[in-house]
Amino acid sequence: MQLRCILLFSCCLCASPFCGVAGAQGLDPQKLLQQDPTDTWPTYNGDYSGRRFSPLNQVQLANVHALSLAWMFRVRIGGAAMRGVGEPDIKSTPLMVNGILYFTIPDHVFALDARTGLELWHYVWVDKGGHLIGNRGVGMKGNWLYFLAPDGWFISLDAQTGKERWRKKVADEKMQYFTTGAPMVVGNHVIVGVGGDAIDLPGYLEARDPETGELQWRWNSEPRKGEPGSETWPNETAMVHGGGMTWLPGTYDKDLNLLYWGTGNANPVMAGQGRNGADLWTCSIVALNADTGKLAWYFQGSPHDTHDWDNTETPVLFDSQIDGKPRKLLGQASRNGYFFVLDRTNGESIVSKPFVPLNWSKGIDTKGQPIPDKEREPTTDGNLLTIYGGGGTNWMPPSYNPQTGLFYVNAVLGYSLTYLTDTSEHPEGYGGSIRNLWSQHVLEALDHKTGEVKWSHAYTNADASGGGSPGILTTAGGLLFSGDFDGNLIAFNAANGDIVWHFPMLHALGNGPETYLLDERQYVIAGGGDTLYAFALTR
Amino acid sequence: MGPATENRNAHQQRASLRTRRTYRRRHRYLAPTLFLTLCLTVVGTARSQAQQTNPNNAQQEDSRAIRTREFLGLGRVPDAKMAAEGSTIFGATCGFCHGADARGASGPDLLRSSVILDDNQGELISATVHNGRPAKGMPAFPSLTEEQLRDIAEYLHLQVELSANRGTYKALNVVTGNAKAGEAYFNGPGQCNTCHAATGDLAHIGSKMNPPELQQTFLYPVAPQRSAPGVTVTFADGRKITGTLKHLDDFYVSLNDAGGDYHSISLQKGIQVQVDDKLLFHRQMLDKYTNQQMHDLTAYLVTLK
């Protein structure tokens, strides 16, 4: 029914592929504005809110035991290991549009039949640098896909054929920028972020024209000389090399027309002595006008970070009653171990509470921002932190479930030693390193009003060979899908954390699971290592 | 402290685990923080301690640096010999304006300069030094030979390497504590002597490991240094199997028994799994050490030559 509507619509209106309306295979722009679409997964997070909650309930607590493998697709890229990272690892969340899945690994884009897993086309990019640490997927508008190659190329592909339409350079890999994000289509903009912190560089976020790829606006992660925020840097040199990368897709509130984006760590990464001050707008959540890139407000999760704790984790948008009043909220489980809930109209703090034990902070200031403890900065002889070196969580997608009111995050408990290796007055690069000690992965369900842990599940893994970066999906079927670090894809009861189903994949879950309805059948899609898995109820 | 055990019942397991941070045997890095796993480079104090104690460490450091360089896409490895030559020439010719380490003085920081970062075999750097940049106030150096220019280029590439390639980073001095205080802690509040002896299992430990390695290891050993824990599985009817743990997740436990036979057991209701975690005490101590106590212990352990 849905398909036919789009066919009719597109036949009437879309004589030219440039008219902005999708063809039969393309993405109806209205889908991007819908919350929780069920027949489409049109963006990295499934919709602009970043909640990764689906109202689908065909698969539910009562029948999830019958959830079975429908098909598998294994990435084949010619056998060679990927430079510097080894085997392919799917970290992207596929888009599903009109029965076709589009997903990526670094340097590669694939289109698959969402019913069968049959490969339709495969686009290959040959990089000249950049990091192959991951790629989060593609963005889509009409019949066009948008992809970031690791070496700073922003590429548009024809969704029907995988043929390149154009490419634009958005970041210089020789300067150690790299690009891993899923471009995010918002109205007549494609939002593109960048990564990189091996050399001290300024971060930025760009809006590009969906038709031409030309720059529309650029927001800089640091203020310019004399601008508000510049007082948080000791000098201009430190400021314009200050980091604050924008490598993970953000979220968007169409009513407020605000983009919400997390910024990465300050540079030099661990040696902070050359950049005394809060170092705005690194390690922050920023709210930007989607049409101009102008900063509306910011909240800094890690002022003067010296621990490599990018604050890029998804800013999840949801509405709730706080003290009896309806509020537009934004929740984030930050890599620094704090759970933040803000009023997304103005950035006012509602909750700032650690979700893992930590000793790097002395509490929070009047704005709800953590106060770093100078005594816990990296030292030449090693500083013992009661938090995992990679932080309390990382980029892997969390989920907010409006039915339970819980914010779900895959957290890490642990300890680490942090070393300062560059003691010069003007350090560069990382200037330090981290040694991890004991750690454990734990799925946590947080009360969005208080940050209290309502339930948690410590994954019972004994095998250190595991890996993965398990994201989370929740559904109206009462389910939470995620995974452990041994390769089990697991369905939990979202209300209490009971395990209700699992499937042993060949590799640990490395992306955010997704779900959609196709031919009135609910599919659950998950990526583990080099393989994409599709599940549905047995018929 | 002696071997610590935890008794878990498969049925109650989730409830008990849900009380958080209860139970752990192994250590694992998160894939997305490959950055970090690649930069865990704390081996050896400034080119000396590591190599004195273990010749393999120098090789390990080199391979870590090479792996990280490949990951970062930094291109070819700079030639150390040429860079050493270049260091002298650079210091005398360029250091006054750019700083001896090329990180800038009155002239710009060259480690972030596209002339250096876009250069491969000296082609851009040589031309710039030879011709100067008169418009920007940089004089020409026409008397430098082609070879000297190449050496300078190599020196600059090495400086970028040492800053941008975190695989080359080395811990500075970690032996800052008081060995006497460390010894007292070892035999006193630290309770290390409950399981370990300076003249027994830890004899010559200060010669076997370099100080950063030693510090890491007494806090919590990295995975390859840990032996597989023992495990006992008790069935609902009271029958037991004991052995060496092979695998454990939320659904299955598997082990090799004393005879070498392999057993794989589904964690159904009523089955209890008891894992012998010899490192539980080490983990619990991580909440107790002050930095001073940790550094005192390190200072003491390095004296056990």
pTM reported for the whole predicted model? 0.90
The reported pLDDT for the residue numbered A277 is 98
The reported pLDDT for the residue numbered B36 is 28
Substitution target from A236, A383, A394, A433 for chain B, most B beta carbons within 10 A = A433
Proportion of chain A above pLDDT 90, given as a percent: 89
Tokens coding B303: 């004296």
Contacts of B30 in chain A (CB under 8 A): 388, 390, 394, 412, 467, 469
**Is 90 exceeded by the pLDDT of residue A38?**
yes
Residue in chain B nearest A380 by alpha carbon? B172
Q: CATH number of A2-537: 2.140.10.10, 2.130.10.10, 3.30.110.30, 3.30.1950.10?
A: 2.140.10.10
Contact B166 A176 (CB under 8 A): no
How close is the nearest chain B Cα to the Cα of A88, in Å? 12
The reported pLDDT for the residue numbered A242 is 97
| Whole-angstrom distance, CA of residue A368 vs CA of residue A165 | 46
Contact B170 A421 (CB under 8 A): yes
How close is the nearest chain A Cα to the Cα of B276, in Å? 12
Q: CATH number of B80-164: 1.10.760.10, 3.20.20.80, 1.10.8.590, 3.30.1490.190?
A: 1.10.760.10
Residues A443-484: tens digit of each pLDDT:
999 999 999 999 999 998 754 445 789 999 999 999 999 999
| Whole-angstrom distance, CA of residue A304 vs CA of residue A283 | 8
Cα end-to-end span (Å), chain B: 24
Tell me if chain B has a CB within 8 Å of the CB of A459.
Answer: yes
Considering only the beta carbons, identify the residue of A382, A423, A462 that sits closest to B248.
Answer: A462
Backbone CA torsion sign across A39, A41, A42, A47: positive
Substitution target from B25, B30, B66, B217 for chain A, most A beta carbons within 10 A = B30
The reported pLDDT for the residue numbered A25 is 83
Interface subset of A 121-140, CB within 8 angstroms of B: 127, 129-134
| Whole-angstrom distance, CA of residue A450 vs CA of residue B85 | 62
The reported pLDDT for the residue numbered B13 is 33
- CATH code linked to domain B4-26+228-277: 2.30.30.600
Tell me if chain B has a CB within 8 Å of the CB of A418.
Answer: no
Q: Which residues pair with A533 in a beta bridge?
A: A72, A526
Contact A463 B249 (CB under 8 A): yes
Contact A419 B103 (CB under 8 A): no
Of the ranges A135-139, A157-161, B75-79, B251-255, which one carries the lowest mean pLDDT score? Answer: B75-79
| Whole-angstrom distance, CA of residue B77 vs CA of residue B167 | 13
Proportion of chain A above pLDDT 70, given as a percent: 95
| Whole-angstrom distance, CA of residue B210 vs CA of residue B44 | 6
* DSSP letter string, A186-236: ETTEEEEE-B--SS--B-EEEEE-TTT--EEEEEESSPPTTSTTGGGSSSH
The reported pLDDT for the residue numbered A449 is 97
CB burial of residue B227 (10 Å; 0-12, 13-18, 19+): exposed
Contacts of B177 in chain A (CB under 8 A): 381
Tell me if chain B has a CB within 8 Å of the CB of A85.
Answer: yes
Q: Which residues pair with A436 in a beta bridge?
A: A416
CB burial of residue B19 (10 Å; 0-12, 13-18, 19+): exposed
Contacts of A484 in chain B (CB under 8 A): 249-250
Tokens coding B61: 């450091």
Tell me if chain A has a CB within 8 Å of the CB of B98.
Answer: no
The reported pLDDT for the residue numbered A461 is 73
Contacts of B160 in chain A (CB under 8 A): 199
**Is 70 exceeded by the pLDDT of residue A265?**
yes
Tell me if chain B has a CB within 8 Å of the CB of A401.
Answer: no
DSSP 8-state assignment for residue A299? E
CB burial of residue A246 (10 Å; 0-12, 13-18, 19+): buried
Contacts of B27 in chain A (CB under 8 A): 436-439, 464
Contact B275 A176 (CB under 8 A): no
Contacts of B72 in chain A (CB under 8 A): 84, 131, 176, 198
Going across the sheet that includes A284-289, the strands are A251-253, A258-262, A284-289, A295-300
CB A460 within 8 A of CB B248: yes
Tell me if chain B has a CB within 8 Å of the CB of A455.
Answer: yes
CA angle A10, A15, A20 (to 5 degrees): 65
Mean pLDDT of A362-379: 97
Residue in chain B nearest A439 by alpha carbon? B27
Mean pLDDT of A499-509: 96
Contacts of B73 in chain A (CB under 8 A): 83-84, 127, 129-131, 150-151, 173, 178
| Whole-angstrom distance, CA of residue A422 vs CA of residue B165 | 13
Active site residues per annotation of A: 308
Tell me if chain B has a CB within 8 Å of the CB of A47.
Answer: no
| Whole-angstrom distance, CA of residue B257 vs CA of residue A357 | 37
Substitution target from B22, B36, B103 for chain A, most A beta carbons within 10 A = B36
| Whole-angstrom distance, CA of residue A299 vs CA of residue A278 | 12
Domain ranges of chain A: 2-537
Interface subset of A 273-312, CB within 8 angstroms of B: 308
Contact B163 A439 (CB under 8 A): no
Contacts of A380 in chain B (CB under 8 A): 171-174, 176
Contacts of A412 in chain B (CB under 8 A): 30
Domain ranges of chain B: 4-26+228-277, 80-164
| Whole-angstrom distance, CA of residue B185 vs CA of residue B189 | 5
The reported pLDDT for the residue numbered A462 is 58
CB A281 within 8 A of CB A265: no
How close is the nearest chain B Cα to the Cα of A337, in Å? 15
| Whole-angstrom distance, CA of residue B164 vs CA of residue A241 | 14
Considering only the beta carbons, identify the residue of B39, B74, B103 that sits closest to A428.
Answer: B103
How close is the nearest chain B Cα to the Cα of A172, in Å? 10
| Whole-angstrom distance, CA of residue A15 vs CA of residue A488 | 47
Strand, coil or helix: A68: strand
Peptide bond just before A268 cis, omega within 30 deg: yes
| Whole-angstrom distance, CA of residue A233 vs CA of residue A199 | 18
Interface subset of B 119-158, CB within 8 angstroms of A: none
HSE, side-chain direction, 13 A CA sphere, residue B214: 32
Mean pLDDT of A107-119: 97
Residues of chain B under the 50 pLDDT cut: 1-53
Tokens coding A511: 């992306």
Considering only the beta carbons, identify the residue of B22, B25, B41 that sits closest to A462.
Answer: B25
Interface subset of B 255-294, CB within 8 angstroms of A: 275, 279, 282-283, 286-287, 289, 291, 294
The reported pLDDT for the residue numbered A18 is 42
What burial letters (b/e) apply to A142-177, b meaning 16+ CB within 10 Å?
bbbbbbbbbbbbbbbbbbbebeebeebebbbbbbbb
Tell me if chain B has a CB within 8 Å of the CB of A389.
Answer: yes
Contacts of B101 in chain A (CB under 8 A): 424
Question: Residue B257, Cβ neighbours under 10 Å: how many?
Answer: 12
| Whole-angstrom distance, CA of residue B67 vs CA of residue B75 | 12
The better pLDDT of the pair A325, A18 is held by: A325
- How many residue contacts between A and B have a Cβ separation below 8 Å? 250
The closest of A396, A389, A310 to A356, measured between CA atoms, is A389
The reported pLDDT for the residue numbered A24 is 76
**pLDDT mean across residues, chain A:** 94
- Helical segments of A207-335, H only: 236-240
Contact A199 B163 (CB under 8 A): yes
